[in-house]
């Protein structure tokens, strides 16, 4: 079980940077959210810290365990200039409590190192796959 969780965390980390998103204006702030940046946002503790965070905090939902639900939840979110995570949305879910658990993990994470463009912090939209495997 631990091995599967570690492998899942590593795959999640590898895929984390593989899903670019497009620049757009957010409804809340009307500020442009960037896709093309000089430095991408970095999760707390870097990728190793991110993997450990997922490994130590992921709580596989009981309903998903009971029904054998596995798969990938795709999240979209914005890393703000101050490193906070906002606007978390489920782009593709698998149900049975997994979508909510993925959102919980991301929402409860510590502040990120913000992305930068021209050496200034900017809001960056990110996509994150969260793999659930029994």
Q: Name 122's Cβ contacts closer than 8 Å, sequence gap at least 6.
A: 34, 37, 81, 114, 115, 116
Can you tell me the mean pLDDT for 72-88? 97
Cα–Cα dist 115/133, whole Å: 30
Instruction: Write down the number of H helices and E strands in the chain.
Output: 4, 7
pLDDT at 29 over 80: no
List domains and CATH numbers for the chain.
2-132 (3.30.2420.10)
- Higher-pLDDT residue of 69 and 23 is 69
Instruction: Express each pLDDT in 31-74 by its tens digit.
Output: 688 878 999 999 999 989 998 998 899 999 999 999 999 999 99
pTM score: 0.78
Q: What is the pLDDT of residue 34?
A: 86
pLDDT band at 15 (very low <50, low <70, confident <90, very high): very low
- Higher-pLDDT residue of 19 and 61 is 61
Q: What angle do CA 57, 94, 60 make, to 5 degrees?
A: 25
Q: What is the pLDDT of residue 36?
A: 85
Q: What is the pLDDT of residue 56?
A: 95
Q: What is the DSSP string of 41-85?
A: -B-TTHHHHHHHHHHHH----HHHHHHT--EEEEEEEEE-TTS-E
């Amino acid at each position: 079980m631990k091995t599967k969780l570690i492998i899942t965390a590593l795959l999640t980390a590898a895929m984390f940077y593989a899903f670019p998103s497009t620049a757009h204006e957010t409804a809340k702030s009307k500020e442009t959210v960037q896709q093309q940046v000089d430095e991408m946002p970095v999760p707390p503790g870097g990728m190793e810290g991110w993997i450990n965070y997922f490994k130590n905090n992921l709580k596989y939902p009981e309903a998903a365990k009971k029904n054998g639900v596995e798969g990938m939840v795709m999240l979209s979110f914005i890393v703000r200039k101050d490193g906070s995570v906002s606007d978390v949305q489920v782009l593709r879910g698998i149900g049975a409590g997994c979508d909510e658990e993925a959102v919980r993990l991301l929402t409860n994470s510590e502040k990120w190192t913000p992305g930068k463009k021209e050496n200034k912090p900017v809001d960056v939209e990110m996509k994150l796959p969260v793999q659930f495997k029994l």
